[in-house]
Structure 1
Amino acid sequence: MRAISRGVNRFYVTTPIYYVNDIPHVGTAYTTIVVDALRRFHLLVGDESRMLTGTDEHGLKLERQAHEEGKTPQAFVDEMAERFRQAWPVLDIENDDFIRTTEPRHKAYVQDLWRRIEERGDLYEGEYEDWYCVGCESYKTEKELLPGNLCPIHHKPVERVKEKTFFFRLSRWEKPLLDFYERNPSFVEPASRRNEVISFVSSGLRDLSVSRTSFTWGIPVPNRPEHVMYVWFDALTNYLTALGKEGDPLRRYWPPNGRAVHVVGKDILRFHAIYWPAFLLSAGYTEKELPSQVFAHGFLTVDGQKMSKSLRNAVDPLRLARELGPDTLRYYLLRAIAFGQDGDFSHTALIERYNADLGKNLGNLLSRTLGLCVKFSDGKTPPMGEIGPLERELAEAAANASAAARAAWDELAPHRALEATWTLSSAANAYVDKAAPWASAKAGDMVRTHTILATLLEALRQLSVMIWPAMPKKSDGLRAQLGLAPLAPKAGEDLWPKGFTPRPAGEPLALAAALFPTIDKDAEAALLTKLAPHMHGAPAAEAPATAAPAAAASPAAEAPPAINYDTFLGVDLRVGLVKTAERVPRKDKLLKLAVDLGEAEPRTIIAGLALSFKPEDLVGRKIIVVANLEPRSFGKGLVSQGMLLATGPSEALHLATVEGDAPPGSRLK
């Protein structure tokens, strides 16, 4: 399809610069994958798009760690920064720049920003004493600390520090910041984080200590070399350093000429949403020259537990990418975790979602379609004949999916974008069954058969574009099998699907090996043992002498106790017809269903289906319901009068359904 020309917008998106006290892990990979996917989406729709990542390399913590390892701080950070630089290509991340805070260009820029703030009278000398968390590289107030003077983030004791310092007049910017937030409500997202920021600023801002004299590993304060800059004053400036000074061509990405979005973890939101705009305003930047948005995402746990060295549950994203392919990891992280909320990484759920979404949905659609094309159109694109109601229905589904996915990407909601994308894949799979090209071919109606296949090929072409931000290599592979060249985005050309326009007849297709071969139970067990041995049965490589007893196997892994026949007969399983379905307000996982069980009135069933199904997709489906279960209250008048049957994780459920003419209320035997 011809690209649509459009005006050029500019999109600049950044990760935090990662502190090099540790190697890349699944948390840093998650943030960086999200940012790369956002960059790719904006490229796809014709924007000039630029991505920045890098490393934060100054501070007391790094100075101490380097000395503990017998290295100079510079040698230590050189070694650690290289691990981050080399990690991202393994995950198909293509950042445009990689900045290090030890680079000369950054040092010069930070010192210039310091001078600008100093000239405006917002820096003064004094002495500071308070509790300091070396892990956070920030001071903590008494009310922030946990009992025992523990940092609320690291749960480690803070240190009492007293030293000479320069203070930044943060208190001066309290009202200007509140006014700015009011005029720019989308500056901090999601809304819950914005409320936290406003609450913190409203409670009163204290002047901020922005230099240190108790250690030397940092950028020297201009004309006062006994002071080094506070690591956050240093680090935050990287976003501008990488674009150069006023007049540099790259500065076109910065507001007001571009859209600049900082993606950060919620633990460093305060630095980005309060300190950073205050520094810029103090340096003479206008409100229109501040970043466009700071988006704070949540934390990741692993199989329900906080990542911890003592639990030996850290996830190596590079190893996962090498075992399963980078696109599989990218898709899972982008699809399974609601961006902006806390999420859980599960090896089992990753494989289940791979099989369900990639293998049995999109992969199956591609294999079926190409197989039918080999059989009925000599492995070439067939001619498009007269379209009917089924084709119009699929074209409408494609238009809706494309519009919803595009809007979600633009709103920094990759999970919703991919959910919308997969509605098209599911609709195309349903279309195959309804249209039944094998039946029309058997009846000798090849015009109709070719129309069906041409329609399916167009759905797959659109899908090959819509998955590219998340799975660039698999997009290339899908397009290769469709006989299409890889996507090559250009500024000003919008490649996002705009309409249902089948290709000319006679173009060659390329049936190949399965794009997403499913992982069977034996292969899954082997993978889980290899990737997460401490969770899936194999002994840990280096269990400490004081290790806790091994956890009992999960109930799902054990054979349930036998029941007698009479007990089974006591379970009233019936066919239920879903009449209506709606979301439960403020309950992300719950849907409220009205289900016809052949009784005078439909029953209300509350079910945790919202992460896997849209309400409208359930209406009209015949499900299996446990009808004699005691009613269960969900609070606020929500009472479930039965339970439906399903399998899989909450974000990739498969319903137990009934085909055929069984009426509502029929008993299962």
Structure 2
Amino acid sequence: MNTENFYVTTPIYYVNDKPHIGHAYTTVLADVLARYHRSLGDETFFLTGTDEHGQKVEKAAAARHLDPKAHCDEMVLRFQSLWERLGITNDRYIRTTEEFHKRVVRQILQELFDRGEIYKAEYTGWYCVGCERFFTEKDLVDGKCPDCGREVSAIVESNYFFRMSSYREWLIEYIETHPDFIQPSFRANETLGFLRKGLGDLCISRPKSRLSWGIELPFDPDYVCYVWFDALINYISGVGYLQDDAMFEKWWPASYHLIGKDILTTHSVYWPTMLKAIGLPMPKTIFAHGWWLTGSTKMSKSLGNVINPMDMVDRCGVDAFRYFLMAEMSPGNDANFTEESFVARYNSDLANDLGNLLSRVLKMTLRSTDGVIPPPGAPTADEEELNSEVSAAIDAMETSLAALKFDQGIAAAMNAVRAGNRYMEKTAPWTLAKKGETERLNTVLYTAANALRQISVLLYPVMPEKMAELRRALGYVGGELNDAKISDLRTRKSDLAGRKVVDTAGLFPRIDEKEKEKAKTAPRPAKAKKAVPANVVELIGIEDFAKVELRTAKVIEAEKVEGADKLLKLQLEVGTEKRQIVSGIAQWYAPETLAGKTIVIVANLKPAVIRGVESKGMLLAAKTGGELRLVTVDGELPTGAQVG
């Protein structure tokens, strides 16, 4: 079985609608992972595809008056064309309507049925069409689907079941003894919490009288296979299971199953128990990333706030889009996507920092050394400082790759870019040129260009087109543009000296404020207040401030809000009163660290219900960049004391 090769998968996406930013993020993340491992010299296999069976697909096809397969054939092109546009380098694209996959699913079903792992029984429960899942009465939230909030239907029918419950204790022990199996670790805790509440058997069929679009059960032609049982098998059918033993031996188990957190249960409970029953090893890591939000709301077609990746690509380019996705979200956590934040990061990181450093190096080299990168002279402390920053970026990228925290590796690479700009300011090659200090000038130009060369290799998996363009500007040609390896950065001597640079019109042209305004898609409300410049504080009167009642409060206890990554529920003592406040500080504070703290709250805020939990007030905190700190009281002070 696979012990050294790298095999990464995305979920296979439903073809009931066009792809959105959530699909794009997971697929770009997988592509960046695959590119990095290829750059490290690892044999790599990257699988993605589409899930083309089930009730959602059947309904979407019916709404368009199409045969389901014809609908799938048309919709799959939207995914494939977007992946091509985004530079996705998958080794295989699997469709669950392909005959080889259906054969594998049927063979697995038959073998499990023959061994008594699948049985027939009558089922009574609640069914969500959107999620294509059954739920018990206790699972429902306000009588609706606990996952998507849609209406559910009561169903009583005979079906086939997989004996999933018999693997509950095994799975709990496996998760507890394999800390890398489900990542981030708090997702493993979610799965363990789910399992400890009990685990039933899994309904793995749908009667044809209700759903005809699926893989027919080999032991009963009146039923088709449950879409999730069918879909999950793609991870093994796509690398040769029951078809090509050598291929399967090479790639399984998978290194990473990348998924969104909304499909954690199917991948961390259904899939491992299925594999255990089949007799196959577990994937090494199931990694559940967060959601892209607009404000505090998940992007959703039903809410009409989904961002079309094609729109962003058309406006700002493929690599800028890929860069934003990887730099903005820390995998595992939620992230906000606004076009304003996109433009701000683009201008700051790419135009002002990276593009500016390249422009400086090119112009000075063209002006001072006839466009040829000179050999360096003896290094000084300034060169050692920049080289140290670049070396630290290489280390950080390798560390972040292992921990699947690309944002940290990218941040380190951009720190090296900023160090390059500081180096140029400090060494002032334009002044060296005027003074005729040729040897020192040559060292500066070479050192800055060499930093860019290494950074281009580090960022190539994220921005392959732009980093190839950067390398072309440094004098690389042909196959040299794309074959640079991270594994060579420490072992292979730089080959920059003597290369002739090529001027570029600008690697990342700055997006000006007018374009930024055009990028705003949300219409301004009719009675919106006049905008206040960001650097101007809007003044209020003392009468406005007097309306806000600030008081001290002591945290008695805190706990996470179930199903909400960012929220904590705090029990407070405010004088003689006990209060409950829900706050989005879980990213910065563990619940156990808050007990005993005296904080400041807005005491006269109208109560609100957040994720089904009442919140009476708001705590005060200070935030800058990615850091947040609670406003606390200096010294001892009774709770309920007025602040102001």
TM-based fold match above 0.5? yes
After superposition, the Cα gap between the structure-2 partners of 1:561 and 1:261, relative to the gap in structure 1 and judged at 3 Å, is closer
Could you tell me which runs of 5 or more consecutive residues in structure 1 were left unpaired when the two chains were aligned. 1-6, 538-548, 565-584, 591-605, 614-631, 640-669
Which position in structure 2 is the counterpart of 1:129?
Answer: 124
Structure 1 residue 251 and structure 2 residue 264: aligned?
A: no
CA distance in 2, matches of 1:85, 1:290: 29
Name 1:65's counterpart in structure 2.
60
Paired position in structure 1 for 2:105: 110
What is the distance in 1 between the residues matched to 2:333 and 2:136?
Answer: 26
Q: What is the CA distance between 1:433 and its match in structure 2?
A: 1.2
Per-residue Cα deviation, 1:335-375 (whole angstroms, up to 9, x for no partner): 01111111111100000100000000000000001111112
Letter in structure 2 aligned against 1:223: F
Cα pair 1:464 1:478 within 8 Å, conserved = yes
**Paired amino acid for 2:348:** A
Do 2:300 and 2:306's aligned partners in 1 also have CA atoms closer than 8 Å?
A: yes
Hey, what's the Cα distance between the residues in 2 that align with 1:554 and 1:198?
Answer: 50
- Residue 126 to residue 245, structure 1, CA distance change in 2 (3 Å): same
Tell me the secondary structure at the aligned position of residue 181 of structure 1.
Answer: helix
Going from structure 1 to structure 2, the CA distance change for 1:35 and 1:523 (only over 3 Å counts) comes to same
What does residue 552 of structure 1 align with? Answer: 528
1:333 aligns to what? 325
Equivalent in the alignment of 1:611: 626
- Cα shift at 1:563: 7.1
Aligned to 1:230: 226
CA distance in 2, matches of 1:76, 1:374: 56
Contact between 1:117 and 1:279, CA under 8 Å: does it hold in 2? no
- Relative distance call for 1:536 and 1:284 in structure 2 (3 A) is same
Q: CA deviation at 1:69?
A: 2.3
Is 1:33 equivalent to 2:33 in the alignment? no
Q: For the structure 1 residues 505 and 157, does the alpha-carbon distance in structure 2 shift closer, same or farther, using more than 3 Å as the test?
A: closer
Residues 116 and 284 of structure 1 are in contact (CA less than 8 Å); yes or no, is this contact kept in structure 2?
Answer: no
Give SS of 2:46's match. strand
CA contact (8 A) 1:384 1:450 kept: yes
Partner of 2:16: 21
The correspondence for 1:194, drawn from 184, 188, 212, is 188
Closer, same or farther: CA 550–11 of 1 in aligned 2, 3 Å: farther
Whichever residue aligns with residue 528 of structure 2, its letter is A
User: Are 2:436 and 1:463 equivalent residues in the alignment?
Assistant: no
Q: Deviation string for 1:525-578 (max 9, x for gaps)?
A: 23x15xx2xx155xxxxxxxxxxx6572584469968879xxxxxxxxxxxxxx
Q: State whether residues 168 and 199 of structure 2, in contact with CA within 8 Å, keep that contact through their aligned partners in structure 1.
A: yes
Letter aligned with residue 399 of structure 1: S
| 1:516-531 → structure 2 map (5 Å cutoff) | 516-526=508-518, 528-529=519-520
Number of the residue aligned with 2:467: 475
Segments of structure 2 that go 5 or more residues without pairing to the other structure are: 541-584, 591-620, 637-644
Letter of the aligned partner of 1:230 in structure 2?
Y
What one-letter code is carried by the residue in structure 2 that aligns with 1:235?
A
Q: CA 1:494–1:244 in 2, change beyond 3 Å: closer, same or farther? A: same
Q: Is the 8 A contact 2:357 2:420 kept in 1?
A: yes
Structure 1 stretch 197-206 or stretch 357-366: which is displaced more? 197-206
Pairwise CA distance, 1:53: 1.0
Amino acid at match of 1:63: E
Q: What secondary structure, in the 3-state scheme, does the structure 1 residue paired with 2:58 have?
A: helix
Q: Is the 8 A contact 1:8 1:47 kept in 2?
A: no
Compared with structure 1, are the counterparts of its residues 636 and 203 closer, same or farther at alpha carbon in structure 2 (3 Å cutoff)? Answer: farther
Q: Write out per-residue CA displacement over residues 90-111 of structure 1, whole angstroms, 9 at most, x where no aligned residue.
A: 1111211111111101100111
Rounded to whole Å, the distance in 1 between the matches of 2:60 and 2:17 is: 10
Paired residues, what number? 558
Aligned residue number for residue 432 of structure 1: 424
Question: Which residue of structure 1 lines up, in the alignment, with residue 287 of structure 2?
Answer: 295
**Gap change, CA 1:637 and 1:332, over 3 Å in 2:** farther
Q: Is the 1:46–1:490 contact (alpha carbons within 8 Å) kept by the matching residues of 2?
A: no
Is 2:235 aligned against 1:239? Answer: yes
Structure 2 counterpart of 1:239, one-letter code: Y
Does the CA-based 8 Å contact 1:20-1:77 persist in structure 2? yes
- CA contact 1:44–1:489 (8 Å) conserved in 2: no
- Looking at structure 1, the residues matched to 206 and 509 of structure 2 have their Cα atoms a distance apart, in angstroms, of 56
Deviation at 1:437, TM superposition (A): 1.7
Deviations 1:397-423 (A, max 9, x none): 111111111221232212112111111
8 Å contact kept, 1:170–1:207: yes
Q: 1:178 aligns with which of 172, 175, 179?
A: 172
Q: Which letter does structure 2 place at the counterpart of 1:347?
A: E
> What SS does the aligned partner of 1:160 have?
strand
Query: What is the deviation of 1:302?
Result: 2.6
Q: 1:62 is aligned with what amino acid?
A: V
User: What aligned pairs does 1:337-486 form with structure 2 within 5 A after superposition?
Assistant: 337-485=329-477
- Structure 1 residue identity aligned to 2:97: T
The answer to whether the aligner puts 1:161 opposite 2:155 as a matched pair is: yes
**Aligned-partner Cα distance in 2 for 1:209–1:347:** 43
Distance 1:109 1:267, change over 3 A: same
**How many Å separate the matches in 2 of 1:244 and 1:172?**
28
Q: 2:565: which partner in 1? A: none
Counterpart of 1:319, as a letter, is D
Shift in Å at residue 500 of structure 1? 9.2
Using the size of structure 1 for normalisation, the TM-score is 0.78
**In the TM superposition, what is the alpha-carbon distance from 1:203 to its structure 2 partner?**
1.9
In the alignment, which of 309, 313, 316 is matched to residue 317 of structure 1? 309
Q: Match of 2:440, as an amino acid?
A: R
**1:267 aligned to 2:283?**
no
Partner of 2:566: none
Contact 1:254 1:291 in 2 (8 A): no
Q: Do the aligned residues in 2 keep the contact of 1:332 with 1:350 (CA within 8 Å)?
A: yes
Q: What is the one-letter code of the residue matched to 1:371?
A: K
Deviation for aligned residue 1:386: 0.3
TM-score after normalising by structure 2: 0.81
CA contact (8 A) 1:44 1:494 kept: yes
- Aligned-partner Cα distance in 2 for 1:318–1:14: 22
Distance across 2 between alignment mates of 1:635 and 1:561? 24
Tell me how far 1:609 sits from its aligned partner: 3.7
Match of 2:86 among 91, 104, 109: 91
How many angstroms apart in 2 are the aligned matches of 1:519 and 1:441?
32
2:110–2:219 Cα contact (<8 Å) kept: no
Q: Which residue does 1:624 correspond to in 2?
A: none
Asked if the contact 1:454/1:502 (under 8 Å) is kept, the reply is no
> 1: CA distance between counterparts of 2:452 and 2:435?
26
Moved more, 111-120 or 336-345: 111-120
1:634 aligns with 2:634: no
Task: Give the match's secondary structure for 1:17.
Answer: strand
Q: Does 1:142 align with 2:157?
A: no
Using a 3 Å threshold, how does the CA distance of structure 1 residues 74 and 120 change in structure 2: closer, same or farther?
A: same
Equivalent pair of 1:588/1:610 in contact (CA under 8 Å): no
Distance 2:475 2:292 in 1: 39
Summarize the alignment of residues 562-581 of structure 1 with structure 2, pairs less than 5 Å apart: none
